Amino acid sequence: MSIVAAVMSKKILITGASGLIGSRLTELLIARGHSVTHLGRFKKSRQVPTFAWNPAARTMDSQALEEIDAIVHLAGAGIADKRWTASRKNEILHSRTTSTELLFQALKNNRNNVQSMLAASAVGYYGFGDEEKIFMEEDHPGNDFLAHVTTQWENEVDKMNTLGLRLVKLRIGIVLSEKGGALKEMAKPIKLGLGSPLGTGKQFLSWIHLDDLCEMFIKAIEDEKMNGPYNAVTDWCTNEQMTRIIAQVLHKPLWLPAVPSFILKIILGEMADMVLKGSKVSSNKIKQAGYRYQFVDLNDAVQNLLT
């Protein structure tokens, strides 16, 4: 029996579907036999029908919920897209909390058959800078900006429990993809022969291949035993280790010394903490839930994406 035939087809609504994760997840869900619709700024009806919503204006097409079994909530302004001015930090936070609140109100006030909510979060929940601790799902949140954002984000998501939904939160690490995100940005200077570790190079990156992340979402949709938060990571490495592996895969040299921290702080401002600090995050819980990784070795993951 094929995998598609073995799994009961579900109808999935995805927010933030035009992004790196949402677009790949859509492809994999359809290939697995599920039906997918999107929530976006404009209503579209192509291969994947899109219903309109505007979280800032708190408006949403209620028809988007019709016959939906599960919602995958990925919407939110990009963390690393722009410098963290006061207005941008406000946008990063409220794009997540207001969109979640809008979904909650729509589910509460409209008849629907939604059974499960699968929500994105981030390992930034734990804060950065503690190089010794290995963070587990039951650990308390940190106290920096990203921890503040993810805590409020998850607090809004947790309200879904009052509606009787099964709620799964995936705290996502550094997503590796050739199409965007950290790997693409780290590879750019290396391809030009200008690669170098950042800061000390010893800061930890808890990483995951894009396909493994999307397969985790699919498992969370199909496996009704899953509930609560899970760290969506594979393993951790240092910034220097990842930089060297990218260079080896691309057959490019690295510059020495590393890019000094103070230069990155001048260029990036407060956002420099994202690349100068890190954390080790455990994947034990998702493994115990039965998830089997496609890419457990960082070199294999980078080879798959860059060659």
Q: Express each pLDDT in 141-173 by its tens digit.
A: 998 889 999 999 999 999 999 999 999 999 999
Q: How is residue 270 written in tokens?
A: 């407060």
Give the pLDDT band (50/70/90) at residue 197: confident
Apex 241 CA angle, 237 and 246, nearest 5: 115
- DSSP assignment of 73-106: E-----TTSS---HHHHHHHHHHHHHHHHHHHHH
What tokens appear for 51 in the block?
């219903």
Going from N- to C-terminal start, the domains of the chain cover: 3-306
- What does pLDDT average to over the chain? 88
pTM confidence score: 0.91
pLDDT digit string, tens, across residues 23-33 = 999 999 999 99
Q: What is the pLDDT of residues 269-289, one digit of tens each?
A: 655 566 667 899 999 999 999
Q: Tokens 């036999």 identify what position?
A: 33
Question: How far apart (Å, rounded) are the C-alpha atoms in residues 162 and 165?
Answer: 8
- Read off the pLDDT band of 189 (50, 70, 90): confident
Please, which pLDDT band fits residue 183 given cuts at 50, 70 and 90?
confident
Backbone phi, psi, residue 208, to 5°: -155, 140
- Find the mean pLDDT for residues 234-243: 92
Which neighbouring-strand residues pair with 53? 60
pLDDT for the residue 4: 44
Interatomic CA distance for residues 147 and 124, integer angstroms: 5
| Contact between 42 and 59 (Cβ < 8 Å) | no
- Find out whether 52 and 242 touch, Cβ atoms under 8 Å: no
Identify the weakest region by mean pLDDT among 82-86, 92-96, 216-220: 82-86
* pLDDT band per the 50, 70, 90 thresholds, residue 62: confident
Q: CATH assignment of 3-306?
A: 3.40.50.720
